[in-house]
Chain A
Amino acid sequence: NAGVTQTPKFRVLKTGQSMTLLCAQDMNHEYMYWYRQDPGMGLRLIHYSVGEGTTAKGEVPDGYNVSRLKKQNFLLGLESAAPSQTSVYFCASSLLAGAQETQYFGPGTRLLVL
């Protein structure tokens, strides 16, 4: 049982390049989330999904797209990377909705956009 895994762990991009971050969970969780973590700002929600085939915008969705084609995977895409997207990205999942539901986090992906 690996929990939540993220691929890749680290990536360097040039401005304008595209990439996809992969999040996978093996806990059969319905909800999945993408956050970004920036110094002094905590975690901010980018997009989330309440189930396979569904996605919704979070607090800072601009410049990102997501897809949830399979229940266990949640992909975060950057179509044209910008230096402002340099950050650490965390994926999380929870069994159900409800604030009492614990979110389980992956180890993070560190992205540097030059």
Chain B
Amino acid sequence: AQSVTQPDIHITVSEGASLELRCNYSYGATPYLFWYVQSPGQGLQLLLKYFSGDTLVQGIKGFEAEFKRSQSSFNLRKPSVHWSDAAEYFCAVGGISNDYKLSFGAGTTVTVRA
């Protein structure tokens, strides 16, 4: 069965500081990996996705993520956070062996302090 673990429930970061959100996945075959962001009261928006090729993936809003097969991880990073990055972030995994259905992690809430 596929699953996603986001070890950090809540992270507080200062504006301008770097941010890293952890994601560990369990999947029996080649995974397809996603990061979504949910602003308060909104639906989810795709930040980036990985399914093949370069293991460092660039996304929108200055985010990037690195796929590390040996560590079963897909951590999200941003070099310098803005107050507007305060949101909840979800990692998700899917792939061919589960009919492409996605499994989501529990989410990490990011608070940005001035």
Q: Which A residues form the contact surface with B (CB < 8 A)?
A: 4, 35, 40-45, 48, 58, 90, 92, 97-103, 105-108
- Determine the chain A residues whose CB is within 8 A of the CB of B42 once the complex forms: 107-108
Q: Are A43 and B96 in contact (CB under 8 A)?
A: no
Q: Are B104 and A43 in contact (CB under 8 A)?
A: yes
- Determine the chain B residues whose CB is within 8 A of the CB of A108 once the complex forms: 41-43
Q: Are B43 and A103 in contact (CB under 8 A)?
A: no
Q: Are A99 and B90 in contact (CB under 8 A)?
A: no
Q: Are B43 and A106 in contact (CB under 8 A)?
A: yes
Given A48-B101, A99-B100, A102-B49: A42 touches B32 (CB 8 Å cut-off): no
- Determine the chain B residues whose CB is within 8 A of the CB of A41 once the complex forms: 106
A-B contact count (CB 8 A): 53
- Report the interface size for chain B: residues with CB under 8 A from the other chain: 25
Q: Are B51 and A100 in contact (CB under 8 A)?
A: yes
B43's contact among A45, A58, A102, A105, by CB below 8 Å, is which?
A: A105
B12 located at the interface, meaning its Cβ lies under 8 Å from any Cβ of chain A in the complex: no
The 8 nearest A-B residue pairs measured at CB: A99-B32, A105-B43, A42-B104, A99-B94, A105-B44, A43-B104, A42-B106, A99-B100
Q: Are A103 and B102 in contact (CB under 8 A)?
A: yes
Q: List 25 A-B contacts (CB under 8 A).
A: A4-B43, A35-B104, A42-B4, A42-B90, A42-B106, A43-B44, A43-B92, A43-B104, A44-B104, A45-B101, A45-B102, A90-B43, A90-B44, A92-B44, A99-B32, A99-B94, A99-B102, A100-B32, A101-B100, A103-B46, A105-B36, A105-B44, A106-B43, A107-B42, A107-B43
